[in-house]
Amino acid sequence: MYNIWIVWASWAVGIEMIACLFDLHIPVNELRLWASEKSAGKIMRTPFWEKIIQEVNDDFFEWLDFALFSAWGDNSKKYAPIAIEKWVIVIDNSSAFRYDENIPLVVPQINANTIWNAKLIANPNCTTAIAVVALYPIYKKYGLKKIIMSTYQATSWAWAKGMQELLENTKRYFDGQEAKVENFAYNIAFNLIPHIDTFQENGYTKEEMKVAWETHKIFWDDNIAISCTAVRIPTLRAHSESIVLETKEKVDIEDIKEILKNAPWVELVDDITNKKYPMPQNATKKYDVEVGRIRKNLVFWEYGVELFVSWDQLLRGAALNAVEILQECIKNKELHK
């Protein structure tokens, strides 16, 4: 049994982490929830009984085995080193450590072996985490030369406040009131915004470049050419992606469907005759990544495949992947007892 702390537990991802700990039967001895001063003292109902949220401080990493961070990068940079000094294993959901070559960036279905005895493990960006779950089985058999991706990302990127802004501005629209914009570049209700995160010198946004940087690191392959356009859309918590692949080997579409059907945490939803395909409303609150619309690409032909994926950004794109990393860390501990 293990003592586990969740840092910034009051946020949407932190709340989902608690549920994943229970659903995946993590052997929890004691669970503590930390957040900012604003949330401290509040009582949260969890599958591990009611818990009082405590304010994060430098002295709270005693008698602890694991810390799951669902905070922004600045908070992770401040508190993760403190936890590590006290022999705590940290699993961080922010972008603070993803691009450090000495820190593993992990999707357990792909590269759990990189965890070893690491004291700090980074969780990938949501867009990357979902894409690679679907792409890795194809990569292993057919190889990949190019990935061209367009994302359709929900308001949950800005956690609960982003989803609330969508709901409030939808109501304002029907009430004839002006939209109130706080978390996005423009009003998101009845709109889409081809801009997520900051623009880089090459004209891509940081969100778009994360897909390339992180896929290269997770696959341990810098030779794949990757281009992404990230778009914010007015859905609550499920992201989607349209993905075009150029493979190294000639593709067999039926074989690819069979590979994905048998891949872990992938649900094949690909029956166009009966209008069955991945959609955000069906992927919401689901652990599996929905994959469908699988077809031969008309640009790359025998070496091309196109597909569409949908998934719950708060789960498979964040909390669930972090708790699966925790599972792997526990396995390592048990092996070395």
Predicted confidence (pLDDT) per residue in 79-127, tens digit: 899 989 988 999 999 999 999 999 999 999 999 999 988 999 999 999 9
Q: What is the per-residue pLDDT for 220?
A: 96
User: 49 vs 200, which has greater pLDDT?
Assistant: 200
Instruction: Tell me the per-residue pLDDT of 124-138, one tens digit each, with 9 for 90 and over.
Output: 999 999 999 999 999
From the list 153, 111, 113, the residue with the least C-alpha distance to 136 is 111
Q: What is the per-residue pLDDT for 288?
A: 93
For the chain, give the number of residues.
337
Q: Is 122 helix (H, G, I), strand (E, B) or coil?
A: strand
Confidence of residue 334 (pLDDT cuts 50, 70, 90): confident
Percentage of the chain beyond pLDDT 70 is 99
**Residue 195 known to be catalytic:** no
Which phi-psi region, left, alpha or beta, contains residue 331 (left: φ > 0; alpha: ψ -120 to 50)? Answer: alpha
Maximum CA pair distance of the chain? 64
**Residue 126 known to be catalytic:** yes
Contact 4, 67 (CB under 8 A): yes
Q: 77-87: buried (b, 16+ CB within 10 Å) or exposed (e) per residue?
A: eebbebbbeee
Q: What is the per-residue pLDDT for 336?
A: 67
Catalytic residue (choose from 126, 216, 228, 329): 126
Q: What is the per-residue pLDDT for 133?
A: 94
Contact 289, 312 (CB under 8 A): no
Q: Is 269 helix (H, G, I), strand (E, B) or coil?
A: coil
Q: What is the per-residue pLDDT for 174?
A: 95
State both tokens at 268.
Answer: 């094949």
Is the pLDDT at 57 greater than 80? The verdict is: no
Q: What is the per-residue pLDDT for 260?
A: 97
As a whole number, the mean pLDDT across the chain is 93
Q: What is the per-residue pLDDT for 312?
A: 92
Q: What is the per-residue pLDDT for 165?
A: 95
Which phi-psi region, left, alpha or beta, contains residue 275 (left: φ > 0; alpha: ψ -120 to 50)? Answer: left
Which single residue is written with the structure tokens 């949220």? Answer: 53
Contact 325, 123 (CB under 8 A): yes
Q: What is the per-residue pLDDT for 64?
A: 86
Q: What is the per-residue pLDDT for 22?
A: 95
Percentage of the chain beyond pLDDT 90 is 76
- Pick the range with the lowest mean pLDDT from 23-27, 34-38, 152-156: 34-38
Catalytic residue (choose from 20, 195, 216, 239): 239
Mean pLDDT of 290-319: 95
54-55 β-sheet, strand order: 54-55, 28-35, 2-7, 66-69, 89-92, 120-122
Q: 91-109: buried (b, 16+ CB within 10 Å) or exposed (e) per residue?
A: bbbbbbbbeeeebbbbbbb
Q: What is the pTM of this model?
A: 0.92
Confidence of residue 335 (pLDDT cuts 50, 70, 90): confident
State both tokens at 16.
Answer: 């989902």
Tell me the sheet residues that pair with 45.
Answer: 50
Confidence of residue 217 (pLDDT cuts 50, 70, 90): very high
State both tokens at 79.
Answer: 């508190």
Angle made by CA atoms 285, 291, 296, in degrees to the nearest 5: 165
State both tokens at 322.
Answer: 């972090």
Q: What is the per-residue pLDDT for 276?
A: 97
Is the pLDDT at 207 greater than 90? The verdict is: yes
Give the start-end residues of each E strand in the chain.
2-7, 28-35, 43-46, 49-52, 54-55, 66-69, 89-92, 120-122, 144-153, 225-232, 238-247, 266-268, 289-296, 304-312
CA atoms 181, 186, 192, 196: torsion sign: negative
What domains sit in the chain, N to C, each tagged with a CATH number?
2-124+318-335 (3.40.50.720), 128-313 (3.30.360.10)
Taking the C-alpha atoms of residue 94 and residue 147, their distance in angstroms, rounded to an integer, is 24
Which single residue is written with the structure tokens 């430098």? Answer: 58
Amino acid identity, residue 226?
I
Q: What is the per-residue pLDDT for 20?
A: 95
